[in-house]
Amino acid sequence: MVKRKSQILMLDHSKAKVMLLQKYLEKYLNIIANDGFTKKINVFDLFCGEGIYDNSGEGSPVVILKTLKDLHFTNKAKNKTISKVDLFFNDRDESKIEKLKNVINENKLHYESFGRLVYSSKDYKAIVDGLAGYIQEMKNEKAFIFIDPYGYKEIRGSELKKLLQSKKSEVLLFLPTQFMYRFNEKGTPEALIQIIEELVDFKSWKPSVSVYQFIEQFKDALKSYLGKDFFVDTFSIEKDAATVFCLFFFSSHIRGFEKMLETKWQIDDDEGKGWSYEQTGNLFSVLKTNPLEQKLISLLSSNNKVFNGNIYEFTLRNGFLPKHSTEIFSSLQSNGRLDVLSENGERVRKGAFYLSYENFKNSPNKVYFKLK
Ligand SMILES: C[S@@+](CC[C@H](N)C(=O)[O-])C[C@H]1O[C@@H](n2cnc3c(N)ncnc32)[C@H](O)[C@@H]1O
């Protein structure tokens, strides 16, 4: 049998994919393993592949193992005890699992002291329900699930919901959005209908003029399907001008979601396409508009009292970080366009906006914002 090239060589978009996985896991594991509450973290790689490609590119299981190894030894050096991390690697193709076992043993990528290492070679469909049940039963444990199929046809929104609903898990899903977009050229979101299966309001769906617009609409449809209790964001990977893939991130916890967005912005900043905000008053600012600034202004204009907790959540739900809103508010405040008032209506110290997770959790109504 002639193998498809993409199965044996690790291509650039796969590198971008595992880089996001690695950077996110680094943050996630470090926070959760040290939170003093979580006894065990479970990482599931459900379409794991063989680990190392013929061009020595590293696949998701190797990236996961290396991240865990680093975490373990960094904390050991600081004399810190961290929670156990159990790893589950699954791939329908038994020969790939055998290869992966060899890679892990030969390179000593795992030690018993990290936690359990479990392999299986089952069909995703045969394990997804059991996995959702397993997560449901977990006590003081967390789960991270990586879903990286070749296509999208096996994936169902109802499965994602099941995996997320106990609010102890996060899911990272890779989808070949370019192909899904191509099938959407006539304006029917075939892939969306297939994934969501249920009655969804497709009336608001418009034929997309670009794959990026398709991804935005797709994300919004998944958001409304999953509802307010869940957070969804995307990370697009452009292999070349005609091929764009996308990672979808799902979380039921706002803090986990913030960490994912931090990872995404960190990668964007490293590649020079990150945040750039021209302050009002700048020579060029009349020519540029900032999407977050526009959204914040319209939120403040249409509501009487918008509190710091509301702004924190609004910022994240729109895919930005609290530091971005802080920058915009600083500029509006310096230009005399924003009042920041305490609950009893008094002005607070300049530059204090209270947009962190800690404030969201402990004092979400500490201050409110009013446009002047
Ligand atoms: C895109 S590759 C995964 C790549 C891997 N995550 C990496 O980073 O190297 C998809 C993998 O899923 C496996 N696969 C395909 N259909 C499957 C199914 N229904 N259940 C489980 N595994 C499946 C394939 O054998 C293949 O190794």
Nearest CA to ligand 1 atom 11: 47
Nearest to 316 by CA among 371, 270, 226, 255: 255
Asked whether residue 100 is domain-assigned, the answer is yes
User: What was the pLDDT predicted at 198?
Assistant: 62
CATH number of the domain encompassing residue 208: 3.40.50.150
**CA 89 / ligand 1 centre spacing (Å):** 10
Last-in-domain residue among 208, 237, 270: 270
Has residue 149 got a pLDDT over 90? yes
Number of Cβ within 10 Å of residue 269's Cβ equals 12
Nearest CA to ligand 1 atom 25: 93
Residue 339 one-letter amino acid: D
- H-type helices in the chain, by residue range? 5-8, 12-33, 60-77, 94-106, 124-137, 157-164, 177-182, 190-196, 211-226, 254-270, 291-301, 308-317, 322-334, 357-362
Assess whether 197 and 149 both reside in one domain: yes
Assess whether 211 and 344 both reside in one domain: no
Asked whether residue 39 is domain-assigned, the answer is yes
Q: Which of 10-19, 130-139, 250-259, 284-293 has the lowest mean pLDDT?
A: 284-293
Nearest to 216 by CA among 300, 156, 291: 291
User: What was the pLDDT predicted at 284?
Assistant: 40
Where residue 54 falls among pLDDT bands split at 50, 70, 90?
confident
Asked whether residue 277 is domain-assigned, the answer is no
Nearest CA to ligand 1 atom 17: 92
**For the chain, what percent of residues have pLDDT higher than 90?**
60
**CA 45 / ligand 1 centre spacing (Å):** 9
- Any residues with Cβ below 6 Å from ligand 1, and which? 18, 47-49, 59-60, 91-93, 96, 123-124, 148-150, 154
**CA 52 / ligand 1 centre spacing (Å):** 13
Asked whether residue 13 is domain-assigned, the answer is yes
Assess whether 321 and 213 both reside in one domain: no
**CA 96 / ligand 1 centre spacing (Å):** 9
Atom of ligand 1 nearest to the CA of 125: 19
- For 310, the domain range is 291-371
Assess whether 315 and 220 both reside in one domain: no
Q: Which residue has the higher pLDDT, 329 or 27?
A: 329
Assess whether 220 and 341 both reside in one domain: no
User: Total domain count for the chain?
Assistant: 2
User: What was the pLDDT predicted at 9?
Assistant: 65
Nearest CA to ligand 1 atom 27: 49
What whole-number distance in Å separates Cα of residue 196 and Cα of residue 177?
15
Q: Which residue has the higher pLDDT, 179 or 46?
A: 46
Q: Are 61 and 100 in contact (CB under 8 A)?
A: yes
Has residue 2 got a pLDDT over 70? no
pTM over 0.85: yes
pLDDT in tens, 189-239: 777 777 877 656 666 777 788 888 888 888 988 998 899 999 999 988 887
User: What was the pLDDT predicted at 152?
Assistant: 87
Q: Tally the C-alpha atoms within 13 A of residue 272's C-alpha that lie toward its C-beta.
A: 0
Assess whether 254 and 296 both reside in one domain: no
**CA 340 / ligand 1 centre spacing (Å):** 51
Q: Which of 48, 56, 89, 153 to mutate to test the pocket of ligand 1 (most atoms within 8 A of CB)?
A: 48
Atom of ligand 1 nearest to the CA of 149: 10
Q: Which of 92, 129, 131 to mutate to test the pocket of ligand 1 (most atoms within 8 A of CB)?
A: 92
Asked whether residue 280 is domain-assigned, the answer is no
pLDDT in tens, 245-303: 889 999 999 988 998 899 888 887 766 555 666 554 444 444 456 889 999 999 999 99
Assess whether 237 and 159 both reside in one domain: yes
Q: Are strands 367-371 and 141-147 parallel, antiparallel or unpaired?
A: unpaired
User: What was the pLDDT predicted at 286?
Assistant: 42
What whole-number distance in Å separates Cα of residue 215 and Cα of residue 178?
9
Phi, psi of 319 (to 5 degrees): 85, 10
Return the ∠ at Cα 158 (arms to 156 and 161), rounded to 5°. 120
pLDDT mean across residues, the chain = 88
Has residue 316 got a pLDDT over 70? yes
Residue 365: alpha-carbon gap to chain centroid: 27
Tell me which H or E stretch contains 169.
strand 169-175
Taking the CA atoms of residue 46, residue 49, residue 51 and residue 57 in that order, the dihedral angle to the nearest 10 degrees is -120
**CA 176 / ligand 1 centre spacing (Å):** 13
pLDDT in tens, 68-113: 999 999 999 999 989 999 999 999 999 999 999 999 999 999 999 9
Has residue 24 got a pLDDT over 60? yes
Has residue 180 got a pLDDT over 70? yes
- Give the pLDDT mean for 339-349: 94
Distances (CA, A) of 363 to 157, 304, 306, 323: 34, 19, 14, 18
Atom of ligand 1 nearest to the CA of 146: 6
**Residue 342: DSSP 8-state:** E
Assess whether 320 and 235 both reside in one domain: no
Asked whether residue 275 is domain-assigned, the answer is no
Assess whether 39 and 166 both reside in one domain: yes
**CA 149 / ligand 1 centre spacing (Å):** 5
Assess whether 188 and 302 both reside in one domain: no
What whole-number distance in Å separates Cα of residue 192 and Cα of residue 227?
16
Atom of ligand 1 nearest to the CA of 14: 8
Q: Which residue has the higher pLDDT, 307 or 182?
A: 307
Assess whether 298 and 251 both reside in one domain: no
**For the chain, what percent of residues have pLDDT higher than 70?**
88
Nearest to 324 by CA among 333, 310, 312: 312
Assess whether 126 and 179 both reside in one domain: yes
Asked whether residue 278 is domain-assigned, the answer is no
